[in-house]
Each structure stands twice: as structure tokens, then as C-alpha cells.
Structure 1
């Protein structure tokens, strides 16, 4: 438990050496401006307009924000409140869930997946657990705060429903057959709660380094504190937190299924010295043994750009190479 940043950082005046990133990876002392061009999609607009806007955002940016999405503001607010309460609990209560076991499904840990072997640590603590099917996993979730399971359970169901709705819009935009994104491709849902405590020197460290997601789709609620940045056209763009909006990232699997027509978004999380930041992330992924490959109907040239693979094999390779998103996809490309 002593490793958790939230445990020891409250009195830290300087950064430990093993949290300082190399100069070419640091966010630096200047503040990245919030980008005004990131797509904000109103899901209450006409169906045809929404399909086209989402498809364009997935092709051009690999990410977008959604508003009027149908998830209750009360559910969102209650969930953010309860996850913040979790990280504010006494250390001995969080310790029950602390683990560095890579295969433990519900756990609290710090930095990345392999703290003991990391040269540089990330300035974040993380609580994560599977949440679909809910009945199979909810008994493993934290028992404190006492309303955690009830509140977060409702949230995970609503966000999954929203994710499947957006995948259906993308399916239509790509011209895939009805039912394409069935249980095999979307059967795994993981909830990941990131907590980034106040940092004495945000210019030297990162909450999360540059990466792209391995999944099909990521839906993030980032609260009201700035910190998410997306890499596009050789520069970092700040993603403004909009009230009760969700940020949607396209993952590697959707880039592969679309045969490269859609792009997975490279992003990172920065810290700040003024206040802690807590975010709630839902990852929708294929089941481990699902075969993923480009959909036949999107291969315009008749030549797939990526070879088939089992998702569990892809994820294992991703964990080894995720600091280099291009290398991950390059490994699965079919060479001419």
C-alpha cells in the first residue's frame, strides 16, 4: 500500500527520481491549450446526421465527445462521487483491494501493470474490475463505500448501453451487416477508475504516457478537471471537460475491423499541482478467444491490411509494446 501515490504524495514537496520522465516525453512547463476543433456530437440530432458525424470523427480524429447521450446526470454525478469517496477512504480500507497480481480481476494498484519492473512510474492510482455480465462480477467489487456496488453497477450498465448504441451507428456508417458487433466482439467490459493526486511538479511526470487503447471502444467521463490530451498531426491537443459529456476513443480493434478506415487515438494524461483528478473509464473489448480481422465488407481493394488473430494474443503483445502504438499495429499488418 505504501506504493500508492495517494498514500505518500500528500506531503511530497518534490518528485522522486523514478517518477521523472525523459525530457522528450515530459509535458513541459507550458500549458497545452484546449482544442476547439475536437468533434462534439449531439446524439439527439437526426439519425443520418449522427451516423455521418461519428464516422467522420472516427476517421479524422479517432475520438470525439458526446452530449445528450441519454445517461442520467444523476447517475454520472453519483458515480463520480462514490469513486472519489473510495480513494479518500483510510489506507487500511483500500488495502483490502490492493494487489500487484496481474491476473486478479478486481484490484487497486499504482502506476502501470508491472510496478516492480518499471523504470519510471506514472503519477496515478487505479481501481479496476470487470463489469459484464454484471451478475458474474459485482460480488468482487469493493464493499465500501457501502453504495459502491449499487451506484457503479447502474453506471456500468448505462455506459455499456451507450457504447453499443455508438457501435451500431459506426456499423451502419461502415456498411457492416446488422448484428456485426455482437457478444463475441463486445462481451468484455472493464471499468477502470484513475486517480491522479495533486503533483508537486507536473512538468516532469505523467499520469499516463502516450498510448492507444487495445479495445474496441473506450468511453471516458473525465469530470471537470483538465488532464486528457490527444496526439494528432504531430501535436498534443487538450480535450476540454464538458459538463456530463463522455469522451469516446476508438481502439485498435476497431481500426483493424475497419481495415484502417478508422483510427485509434493516441492519448495521455497529465497532472496538475492545484487539485486531484479522477476519471471513470469503460473499455469494451472482444472475448479473449474471439478471432478479430478486417470485416470483409470494408475491404475495398479485396486485400486485407491486417491478419486475423485471437484477441487474447493481441492483448498480450499489446501489453509488451503499448508504449509504441505504431509497433503494435505494424506487427499485425499484412506485408505486401
Structure 2
């Protein structure tokens, strides 16, 4: 049975009507390839000077790039490899099974592909994903190796994300227990992505340009590449480093930092020949958490996670795109 989502059948009309669009995605060739700032977290365990330098370097990357990569992060390579193998097993299942409402006993629409609201190539994603709210893990088969692997990874990723968020907060004067009070393991989520080979990579994205709706995202990725971010008004390709984890600032940290840390627009370019895998851990607050800028005058009005999500849903339904933080500017 076929494992691939029916992209061509679903988007046939868009592909035909968009043949003459002026603004299209592009292949990865032709873009400058840059390495993200590399943070060695082992320096946090050295002397006070090395520790402070590491924290300041992290903060500077969050200001200038909105992205950085980390090594010596205490997430074992064996666990990351096991997560990827379980991820591959999931996506190699028949499409008809993956698209069932009770797939893996998870919430409806945990398995996603393409973009059901796409109206043009500009908002069409050539990818499939399993988006797991971590409060739903208990619904999965307790003897399932995927469940045990996700539970183990989520525990490590949550601990890491909280540490990173707290270190970044030190540069802003945010109280040390802010994230402990407003985030919990069950409020975060894990998204496992697969980007199938795309016959027409110059016509569509792997994932459309977007920012992340969270405080921090931690991404493990393979060697294929395709991640791009917008830097100084132009798109640049990120040189893949499978030995490092990628960290990026989300919308909530930009609002909390009053615009000091940047939630940067990023995307994934489709690949014609090679499939790509990644797993993104989204470090999120509880739905009731109110996000308020840490300094005055504030760029943003106060909002809760719930209000932000509801606004995104309205905007996506109306326009096909997430508008994001600009909706909450003062």
C-alpha cells in the first residue's frame, strides 16, 4: 500500500493554476549557506567566567540570529538515533492507516500533511508530520516502543529547554522561576516531520515560511539540509550539523523579552531526490499563561497562550497564513 500522501490529487488545481505565479519557492542552490552560532553547553560547568561567557554568547545569538546550535547538551546520541528510527517506522506505514482518526490513539489531526487551507503555492507544504501534544502520550499503547522513546526524549528535551530559557532570562532580568511557574512538560509538544522527495522542488516548499508559537524550539535534524531563515531581509540556508541540536526563539520569548530576542521567520526547501527527517520540541506555557513584556514601554499588549492560538486560527482560516505577533502590537 502507498505510504505517500496524495499531494498531486489534493493540489492538482493549485499546481495547474499556479503555473504562472511570479513568486515561487526556489531550490536550495543559489542561497548563501551559513553556520549558526555554536554554543558548547559544557562551558556552563566550567569556571564562573566561562559560564558567563557561554550565557552571554547564547543571548547574543538570540538577539542577532534568533537561532543557534548547541553541542554537549546531555541528550544522548543513542536516544536521538532511536527517536529517528521510530519516526521512520511511523511514516513508512500506509497513508490510509496514518490518516485514520485514531492513529496511534492520538488526538484527531495529530497526523498532518500538506496544508488543507492552501490556495496557492505560497502556502503549500510538501511534507507530513505527527504533531503530539505531550499530554496525549498516556493515550498511546504503553508497550509501544514509540511511546517509551517519546517519553524519554520529552523528559530530556523539557529539562534542556527549561535550562536554556532560564539562562536566556538572566540577560533580561526575568525572575529565575518564571518558566517553572508557567511551563510544564504536558504543555509542550513534539512534532516529527518527514519531507518526501518532491518532483517539483522549485514550485513548492517543504514547510512554508513561519515563526514558532512557543518560547523555544529544539530541533534535531539529519544531514540533508533545507532549513532556511530570513536574515537581514534575505533568505539564507543553514548548514546542517547532525551532531548539534538547533534552538530557535519563539513568538512568546520575543514578546516576553520586549523584542530583544527575535522569533525569526524560517522555512524548509523541498528536495527533489532525498527525503528529510526532523523532530521539533516546542517549549510552551500552559494555555492560561499571560505573556507580558519584561520591560517598559512594552511593544506588545498582554495576551494569553489561549488568546494567541485563537487569533492564529482565525487568521489562518481567513487568509491561509498565521499573522502572529503583529496582531498584538501596541
Assess same fold via TM > 0.5. Answer: yes
Which residue of the partner structure matches residue 167 of structure 1? 165
Instruction: Give structure 1 stretches of 5+ with no counterpart.
Output: none
Q: 1:191-250, CA deviations, whole angstroms, 9 ceiling, x for partnerless residues?
A: 111111001111110011111111111111111211110111111111122123111110
Instruction: Give structure 2 stretches of 5+ with no counterpart.
Output: 44-49
Which residue of the partner structure matches residue 110 of structure 2? 107
**1:92/1:17 Cα in 2 relative to 1: closer, same or farther (>3 Å)?**
closer
Q: Does 1:328 align with 2:327?
A: no
C-alpha distance in 2 between matches for 1:312 and 1:91: 32
- 2:126 pairs, out of 123, 143, 147, with 123
Q: Does 1:229 align with 2:228?
A: yes
Q: CA contact under 8 A between 1:214 and 1:318: conserved in structure 2?
A: no
Which residue of the partner structure matches residue 92 of structure 2? 88
Q: Does 1:147 align with 2:145?
A: yes
Q: 1:76-132, CA deviations, whole angstroms, 9 ceiling, x for partnerless residues?
A: 011011101110123344244578xxx9466212123xx1x431431011111111x
Q: Does 1:74 align with 2:68?
A: no
Which residue of the partner structure matches residue 241 of structure 1? 240
Q: Does 1:306 align with 2:300?
A: yes
Of residues 189-198 and 171-180 in structure 1, the stretch that sits farther from structure 2 once superposed is: 171-180
Which residue of the partner structure matches residue 260 of structure 1? 259
**1:97/1:79 Cα in 2 relative to 1: closer, same or farther (>3 Å)?**
farther
C-alpha distance in 2 between matches for 1:28 and 1:153: 36
C-alpha distance in 2 between matches for 1:192 and 1:331: 25
**1:289/1:52 Cα in 2 relative to 1: closer, same or farther (>3 Å)?**
same
C-alpha distance in 2 between matches for 1:229 and 1:166: 22
Q: CA contact under 8 A between 2:219 and 2:280: conserved in structure 1?
A: yes
**1:158/1:47 Cα in 2 relative to 1: closer, same or farther (>3 Å)?**
same
Secondary structure, in 3 states, of the residue corresponding to 1:193? strand
C-alpha distance in 2 between matches for 1:253 and 1:186: 15
Q: 1:307-335, CA deviations, whole angstroms, 9 ceiling, x for partnerless residues?
A: 1112111122124447767x53222121x
- 2:41 pairs, out of 35, 40, 43, with 43
> Superposition RMSD on alpha carbons, in Å?
2.7
- What's the CA shift for 1:139? 3.0
Q: 1:20-66, CA deviations, whole angstroms, 9 ceiling, x for partnerless residues?
A: 69432412574423213x21111112311111011000100111111
Q: Does 1:193 align with 2:197?
A: no
Q: 1:109-166, CA deviations, whole angstroms, 9 ceiling, x for partnerless residues?
A: 2123xx1x431431011111111xxxx522334789x411111211111111111110
**TM-score for both structures, normalised by structure 2:** 0.85
Q: CA contact under 8 A between 2:27 and 2:271: conserved in structure 1?
A: no
Q: Does 1:18 align with 2:14?
A: yes
- What's the CA shift for 1:185? 4.0
Q: CA contact under 8 A between 2:33 and 2:239: conserved in structure 1?
A: yes
Q: CA contact under 8 A between 1:66 and 1:248: conserved in structure 2?
A: yes
Q: CA contact under 8 A between 2:5 and 2:113: conserved in structure 1?
A: no
Q: CA contact under 8 A between 2:221 and 2:242: conserved in structure 1?
A: no
- What's the CA shift for 1:17? 4.7
Q: CA contact under 8 A between 1:130 and 1:190: conserved in structure 2?
A: yes
